[in-house]
Structure 1
Amino acid sequence: MTTPFTPSTLTDRFVTEALRGLPARQRADIEAELRTLIADAIEDRLEAGTDAVAAEHTVLAELGAPRRLAARYSEKPTYLVGPDLYFDYVRVLTVLLSTVVPIWFLFSGIVTFVAGSSAGETVGVAVTGAIETAMSIAFFTTVIFAIIERTSAMRSRRTVVWDPASLPEVLDKRGYFTELVGGISFLVIIASVLIWLQTVGAVEGRDSALIGPIATELWTSGAFYIALFYAAVSISFHLFAYYTGWSVSNAMATIVLDVLFVVPAVWLTASGRLLNPDYFDAVGWPQGVGVVTAIVVVVVLLFSALDSIDAIVRATRKRRTR
């Protein structure tokens, strides 16, 4: 005997849609709870004199989309990174983007330039590499935190309890801001003096051509732009630290940047590739090449060491205030 077909009610359709995608072990309990909830709400409206069809439609409309309603009963999250992990996610992502990306930018720029590329090609490769690195970091960090969000065993390992004693001291940043402005101004002055000496301050060499203190081959190759890259990245690091406070990651990244700058700078200077001996001969100071070479090496090593030490001290000081 064939069982007669019974058309599904609006409630049946609502419950069926709500149960889609839910774990099988939860469906029976959630279905029973939803049907009870809907039946009680419909009964209340019927007692108030509402038509049965209208009462059912109104109750289901007030409950909202069935998938959204079912998500409240389910343990399955409907977001990539929830509120419990969101601030950890932002902190990790910020640290990675503010350290790895600038380091890769400077490193790829140096490698590309040393390989013989022009200044324009160097900038293009460095920018492209930095963007790709940033996108990769953002993607994989999000994927990792999304997996943690959906894995109860991994999420339950976050046993760190926030302690008010971990709040950092409210420090007066005006002094550091003054130092930051002073450092930027110093870099601008140095760059301006070098450009002036190489252009306006150029003297006539042996072949009647105008020459500056920087070796012509090095100047025309675009190495000066690499130095500007380093200055820009270094300034961005310090600006980031000014607004967010120094951290161990920021300090370590600063040290890496200093090393990436010091090694090629000292090598170029000590190997005689930085200065132009003809310029010093033309100004009547032939021994100036050795003197200026020694001064440049000492200044580069000194300032880089002070910058690294300052980063470590500030990061350590911040950890002690917690």
Structure 2
Amino acid sequence: MTAIDLTQRYIAATVSSLPAASREDVRAELGTSIADAIESRIEQGEERGAAERAVLTDLGDPARLAAGFADLRLQLIGPRHYLTWRRLLILLESIVPACALVGVALAQVLSEAPVGTVIGQSISVALTAAVHVAFWVTLVFAILERTDAETGEEWTLEDLPEERGPDLPLSDLIASIVVGVLVIGAVLWDLADPVVQLDDHAVSVLAPSLWPGWIAVLLGVVVLEVALTVMVHRRGAWTTPFAVVNTALSLVFLSWALTLIARGELINPELVRLVLTDNGVGGDTPRILAVLLAAGIAISCALDVADGWRKALRARRV
């Protein structure tokens, strides 16, 4: 293969993707530029063949060079839209797949599907939702990139984040302690002197059979949650150990609640009878209510765990 053959092949590969109207001009300009670069290397003592290969190698991929001549974008999403794309993608990926998973799981549980089917279908739909979100969001921004359209998002000084205070200010600490005391008081009051009056007699909300063992577990979790809140406030920020403890407490409470709901032992059976059965509400209604209660508790625990880890990771970056 002669040097001319190699150079002509490179030029042909470069101009092949260009509009016909500009090919000859680029061919002539590129041919002259390559010839001058080769002659410059030869004058420095290089062999013609080696000089030609070095010049063509330095020019790089012909497709990239052609994109430069044609002013074509070689990225799917450029820097103008990248940050907006990333923010929107992160937001949607944190919401849509989770909603899909919860929705499918609830539907499968209500249809009395086996546990394996519930888990498999929920995860499958969540993954599918995540893929669709990533694909369609990216496609939209790729189109915006190539049509020079604007997203309407423009950064201003008002977008600067506020100066961070402590992760747990004193007001939140006081609120957490008050809520903990109220929960403990409400549980003990409900069991000792029920305030719900039905058919002229008091009925507790929680099943009396939960006392003392199951109630002790619940009160212990509440006390430990309050203690964790105090420690976080004294430390001034969340840490990885705090996030781990928070996760463990949430899992203990979730296990406690789901176990009792599955056994039908959380809510006082007499209350269920008076409110639902005696009023002609039967069939799948109690089971549906139990599933919704379990889902609400699970979502609440998941959000609490996620919030703890988010604050711990944010504190590590400061």
TM-score normalised by the chain length of structure 2: 0.57
Cα deviation digits, residues 217-259 of structure 1 (max 9, x gap) = 978x9937645542354336535864799xxxxxxxxxxxxxx
> 1:100 Cα deviation (Å)?
1.5
The amino acid that maps onto 1:116 is E
Where does residue 83 of structure 2 map in the other structure? 87
**Secondary structure, aligned partner of 1:174:** coil
The answer to whether residue 109 in structure 2 is matched with residue 113 in structure 1 is yes
Where does residue 24 of structure 1 map in the other structure? 20
Where does residue 303 of structure 2 map in the other structure? 234
Distance 1:23 1:56, change over 3 A: same
Distance 1:102 1:89, change over 3 A: same
> 1:43 Cα deviation (Å)?
2.3
> 1:99 Cα deviation (Å)?
1.4
Distance 1:72 1:197, change over 3 A: closer
Report if aligned partners of 2:258, 2:294 keep a CA contact under 8 Å in 1: no
**Which of 123, 127, 139 pairs up with 2:123?**
127
Distance 1:198 1:67, change over 3 A: closer
What stretches of structure 2 of length at least 5 have no aligned partner? 170-228, 273-283
Matched ranges for 1:260-275 at <5 A: none
Relative contact order (alpha carbons < 8 A, sep ≥ 6): 1 or 2 greater?
Answer: 1
**Which of 95, 100, 117 pairs up with 1:99?**
95
CA RMSD for the aligned pairs? 4.0
Distance 1:41 1:118, change over 3 A: same
**Secondary structure, aligned partner of 2:46:** coil
The answer to whether residue 30 in structure 2 is matched with residue 34 in structure 1 is yes
Report if aligned partners of 1:102, 1:233 keep a CA contact under 8 Å in 2: no
> 1:67 Cα deviation (Å)?
2.0
Cα distance in 1, alignment partners of residues 38 and 8 from structure 2? 14
Distance 1:212 1:68, change over 3 A: same
Cα distance in 2, alignment partners of residues 137 and 143 from structure 1? 10
Matched ranges for 1:199-210 at <5 A: none
Aligned length: 227
The amino acid that maps onto 1:105 is L
> 1:123 Cα deviation (Å)?
2.6
Report if aligned partners of 1:93, 1:138 keep a CA contact under 8 Å in 2: yes
**Which of 41, 46, 50 pairs up with 1:50?**
46
> 1:139 Cα deviation (Å)?
1.2
Where does residue 224 of structure 2 map in the other structure? none
Where does residue 171 of structure 1 map in the other structure? 164
TM-score normalised by the chain length of structure 1: 0.57
Distance 1:229 1:74, change over 3 A: farther
Cα distance in 1, alignment partners of residues 102 and 52 from structure 2? 65
The answer to whether residue 138 in structure 2 is matched with residue 142 in structure 1 is yes
Cα distance in 2, alignment partners of residues 158 and 194 from structure 1? 46
Cα deviation digits, residues 20-57 of structure 1 (max 9, x gap) = 32333443343233222212212222333434333322
Distance 1:108 1:43, change over 3 A: same
Identity of aligned residues (%): 28
> 1:132 Cα deviation (Å)?
0.7
Cα distance in 2, alignment partners of residues 35 and 166 from structure 1? 51
Where does residue 225 of structure 2 map in the other structure? none
Distance 1:135 1:160, change over 3 A: closer
What stretches of structure 1 of length at least 5 have no aligned partner? 1-5, 203-210, 246-322
Matched ranges for 1:4-15 at <5 A: 9-15=5-11
